[in-house]
Structure 1
């Protein structure tokens, strides 16, 4: 039945959303019946046209189907064609359908019954239905529920059963002894009923066309499959050839990519070398600037060294003058010391002689005094002359000469002068040693600073010369020459300072 739905859908009789298992309403079957008569009928006299309502002229066939109903043209058309019972045909029908209070209803949304399915279709297919009674209907159909069937549907049932295997009842309901006239029918059964009778030829032709289309489609599909197989083989061969060509192209692309990568690598190396050269150039220029600054600093240091050398020479001359003065003073002090020593020795000898003479005179005077005393005790008066008294008093003077004589004073002054000279000489030595120590310390610090600066200058010149030699030979040669000249000058200054210091130390040691 689904097949008949699809078949009628191809004729645009049934809507595409209709399903075979759904119940069919009276309005749907009426609409499909009118559309099928216009689409499937080959005879003009068997076509049912939709009705056109003319106000104040047309009469409504049913009270519940107005002009606002979307299926009014189809239901009104069937009623006006006399295919279904309505107010228009009630005078010709023996039994009225759905008459309530003088109103005639179609009930469009009610399910379509079996007897309406057969009677409406037979009324359209058969212009003249046979006269049938209950016995003839029973003989023809064998239904045991004939009493439930509407008598108006008996002729349609007999006419349908006359088609035997191609009848609606045989195709839609199969073998049955219970007709069940009020039982609802499905949309699939309605589609099957529409495909019978006068429309069967068209449906069969359409079916044959569909089968032919299927056969043609199968042939086309077979031819297409053959063509596809051939194309597949050709495509496979072409794919193999294309794969080979692609492999060749990929190989060439890989080679080209490798060559491109190699070129990029070489370009990067060239760029790196270029950048390295630029950096080296910038480094050389910066080192040249550093060398120029260092040269200026070394020249300033040389100027400082020269000024220090001048100061050292000045201090050296001043120290030499001071040394000469100290030597002269030492010589004068030594001469004076020698003279004082000679005078002291002479005075010592004179003093010793005077003391001996005074001692002898005192002893002689004592002896004379004792003799006088003895003579006076014996009564002999001794008269001493004035000269002898003077000699006696002179003896007393000689006895005290060790303390009061000018020679002792001279000796004492000479000794004190000698001590002062010694202390002065010691102070001069201490002062000169301190001065020499300060000078030597200053010279040592100057020499150490000069050595350090010379070493730093030599090291800086050597480093810068080595760095510049690897990058620029000309700059390296200039730096080395300048460094060697600075080193020679520094060495000369240091050697001169050392020689001057050694001479000063040697002089002080000899003095």
Structure 2
């Protein structure tokens, strides 16, 4: 019974999990992820919409955050489907390393170029024109910047002026009609700092090296391109791509990218891939001949140097030359030894003088320490005096405030006294006026008394008479 119960419970749980998984899958679809050290891919399958999106992106280890590129012939801004971008590092194989080394040896590519970095349009144009002008023997396909720029007065691109260090190479491509420019009636910019795309890598090289004849368009129209993402390419704008494709296994696409089904025309390329593209096709034979010529010249130079060395050894001039140099070096060694001894004596004297100077400095330091102590004591006295002055200042401020208070009281008393004085003066003036009036009245009374007395005398005299 226990086994039966366990089996039943397990079956129920499995059925429940299967049901939940079914509903989850029916809503969100499946997602599978695959990865390996060099490539990373992601596949999304949705049962409801039946959509599939696959994209693999490779980039340099030193620049894996973003890619900025411009193509002359492909416009990807109108695409309405945005696929998830996965950035992965790309390893450099032996063929790419060899191609890069060959171009560095021929002074086509600079010595400080890093293989796994992305290649800019400026760099690829410079290397392509350099290689063509150096190794192309057919005048029909050869570009000489000095000849191409002769009589040119209008820059082909707005963003590449005559002060640009790569102006002659970029202008030469435009003058030759390899790239679209103002000279061909297209007012576009070159964007020299952006990364060169796969399509431009193939287009420029093929249009520069391949012959074009009227029957080629019919052959292109009959040829089926087995890349799943090149159906929208315009044969007139991407003629170099189709010319290169017609070369089969000798094409630049096969030599650089191998057998692929998705060309990805707007995808940038590394400098190692650009080097492989430059060393393939018709340039391979010219490069091989140039390397053979350089090796022959090097071998002949070594043979001449060996012959000259043998002659000098037979004549004994080398031995004599080395004996003379050895004698000169011996004299120089004696002079150096004497100079060394004199410098040692000078150093000893300098050491003695430095010791004396050090003793004097010690004395000066002791004197300075004494002065410092004196200054410290003076500073303490000054601080004490300052504290006393601060205390006296506080006392002075208190006394000053008291004096101010007393002064204000005295001023108020003075004002009171002045008021009383003015009142007394007014009273004195009133008394003076009253006195004057009384005196005037007394004089008037005396005058009336005299008049009355005179009248009385007259009256009495009249009575007696």
With the shorter chain as reference, the TM-score category is: 0.3 to 0.5
More helix by share: 1
User: Could you tell me the TM-score, scaled by structure 2's length?
Assistant: 0.40
User: Could you tell me the TM-score, scaled by structure 1's length?
Assistant: 0.36
